[in-house]
Amino acid sequence: MQLVEVRRIWQQAAHNAFTDLILFNDALWCVFREGSAHVSADGAFRILRSTDNGISWHSQALITATDADLRDAKFSIAPNGTLLLLGAGALHDRSNYSHQSYIWRSNDGVTWSTPEPVGEKNVWLWRMTWQQQKLYALGYGIGQPRFVRLYQSDDAIQFQPLTDVYQGSYANESGLLFTHDGTALCLLRRDPEHGLFGKSLPPYTDWQWQDIGCRIGGPQWLQLADGRLLACVRLYDNNVRTSLCWIDKKSGSLNEALTLPSGGDCSYAGMVLHDNKLYVSYYSSHQENTAIYFAEVQI
């Protein structure tokens, strides 16, 4: 694996972080949070587009909220071609509840619908994944008791809880994918314990978990055509960094393959595999303030 090129693509806000990346309408789209700090009341979603494979980027939209700090936007494309954006709102008024997940919709990536609340209150839906015309999402509970819950939706509006896939320690962020035979795989963050690798067969109500061998943050991953699992995570041992890592399907172990230029407050990657090239968006604070970076990697 070789890093072909990396470039800083955005640094206009005081804090630029928590990215995702998708290929939509023959262009790359990157979304991330702009705010005054890692945690602040003014979080908004900036959306960029590149039509030249990530060389140049242009802002297309800024999604804001007056009643919440918007956090951790994630892209998805519905079967009808609509671009979906899932994000969480950390509410300013917490007299009734503190967090709500929302979905925004767009046909062009520029004009976006008003937010639709989805899922349960105080459950942070982390990322959406389509499987056979059904949408799945893992969410984690805010506060006590600690749990990670799997949801299913037919329309990206009504999310029905299927099962609690994990309970106990503080498990939260996740990557969810489905193999060709329909097996669900999950890469799960826990704090401060090691991350977990999970498997489940349809109907995805029974999960088996394996320790990946280290602590991770901001997990995102994909499956290559040859079946290998490639993740991008924050690693905490020695220097905190953003790295591409192989996940072993049998043992669940994580093996670091390529460290991206990064450090400190970093990670939360988006990944797109296109024309035998891997494109990765992420953020890092290794060069002055937190900024958004875009990498091209040859596998």
Cis amide prior to 219 (ω within 30 degrees): no
pLDDT digits (tens, 9 = 90+) for 181-215: 999 999 999 999 999 999 999 999 999 999 999 99
Each domain of the chain, given as residue ranges in start order, spans 2-298
Residue 288, pLDDT above cutoff 90: no
pLDDT of res. 245: 98
Q: What Rg value do the Cα atoms of the chain yield, rounded?
A: 18
For residue 114, the number of C-alpha atoms closer than 13 Å in the C-beta half-sphere is: 1
One-character DSSP codes across 10-59: E--SSEEEEEEEEEETTEEEEEEEEESSSS-TT-EEEEEEESSTTSS-EE
- What is the C-alpha separation between 84 and 105, in angstroms, rounded? 5
Q: Are 189 and 175 in contact (CB under 8 A)?
A: no
CATH architecture of the domain 2-298 equals 6 Propeller (2.120)
Q: Are 254 and 246 in contact (CB under 8 A)?
A: yes
pLDDT digits (tens, 9 = 90+) for 87-130: 999 999 999 999 999 999 999 999 999 999 999 999 999 999 99
Q: Quote the percentage of the chain above a pLDDT of 70.
A: 100
Residue 276, pLDDT above cutoff 90: no
pLDDT of res. 54: 97
